[in-house]
Amino acid sequence: MDIYQTLFEVIDTRSFSNMWYWIALAVVWSTASHFVLGVPFDLALRAKRQGGERMTDLEDLVRINIGRLLNIAEVSGLMLTALAGAVITILGMTGFVYGVELAQALFLIGFPMLLVGALNIRTARKIATEAPKGEFLVSELRRHRFYVQFIGLISIFVTAMWGMYQNIVTGPLGG
């Protein structure tokens, strides 16, 4: 058997039948739901349980992260929105109009992450204007995390269904 044939059988170059794509998808959504506005969610839970200095640390960390996020949105928001819109449109058109599986796979990761990014900015603005403290801040972070996880759940479901469909249609050898 040819070494290249063996290599390409072991490392499938199609996206939806590639184990590394699914690992990357899991890592993306795990990271997105763990870091709420850049703050590890376990830190919020620990601050709620223990209070005191831990809660002060959480409030400071949230304040710093939403300041960074809102500054980026204010300074570069228009350019980042245009760039992200162009990239996601190119991926969507290339993937679903021209049938490029890699573009489909990247679109199915990228588009929901754009929604999460918009949700991050919305929540950061809400926290900046209302300035919740203590338990109210933790509940706001918990609500935000729930929405991120809900988007992730829908995204993973749609990606899995589309990936299974692609694997059925293309067959085991990409034919």
CA-nearest of 97, 92, 104, 113 to 16 is 104
User: How many domains does the chain divide into?
Assistant: 1
The pLDDT tens digits along the chain (175 residues) read 577 776 666 555 577 878 888 999 999 999 999 999 989 998 888 888 888 889 999 899 999 999 999 999 999 989 999 999 999 999 999 999 998 888 999 999 999 999 999 999 999 999 999 988 888 999 999 999 999 999 999 999 999 999 899 888 877 655 5
Residues 6/12, Cβ–Cβ less than 8 Å = no
Assess if residue 167 is contained within a domain: yes
Q: Is residue 7 part of a domain?
A: no
Whether residue 3 lies inside any domain: the answer is no
Residues of the domain holding 113: 52-175
- Residue 14 resides in a domain: no
Assess if residue 144 is contained within a domain.
Answer: yes
- Specify if 13 maps to a domain: no
Structural domain contains residue 47: no
Predicted structure pTM score: 0.83
With respect to residue 61, please indicate whether it lies within any of the assigned structural domains. Answer: yes
